[in-house]
Amino acid sequence: MESIQFKPTNYPTDLTDEEWALIEQYFPEGPNSEHSKRSLVNAVLYLVNNGCKWRSLPHDFPPYSTVHSFYRRARMNGVWGIILRALVKKTV
């Protein structure tokens, strides 16, 4: 299976390499993954920080429906809370 390539964006909300290293373990790439998990996390962080609508995500992120589905699953299975705590601990 070929690895999904992360395509960096240039937004202030993007995770640093250090931050991604802290949470990467919680987002394994699956056999049907089309987008890197880091891109999906960056898209959610952009949305939360800017208060935009899902459909208004910039086009250099994965499709909004994919980002929404990713976020919903991560929130429902508790992973989103885990990664937020890990990132907050890092900044304290």
Q: How much is the pTM?
A: 0.90
What proportion of the chain, given as a percentage, has pLDDT over 70? 93
The span from the CA of 26 to the CA of 17, in Å, is 15
38-74, pLDDT tens digit by residue? 999 999 999 999 999 999 999 999 999 999 999 999 9
Closest by Cα among 26, 43, 47, 23 to 35: 43
**Per residue in 36-46, is it b (16+ CB within 10 Å) or e — as a string?**
bbbbbbbbbbb
What are the boundaries of each domain within the chain?
A: 36-91
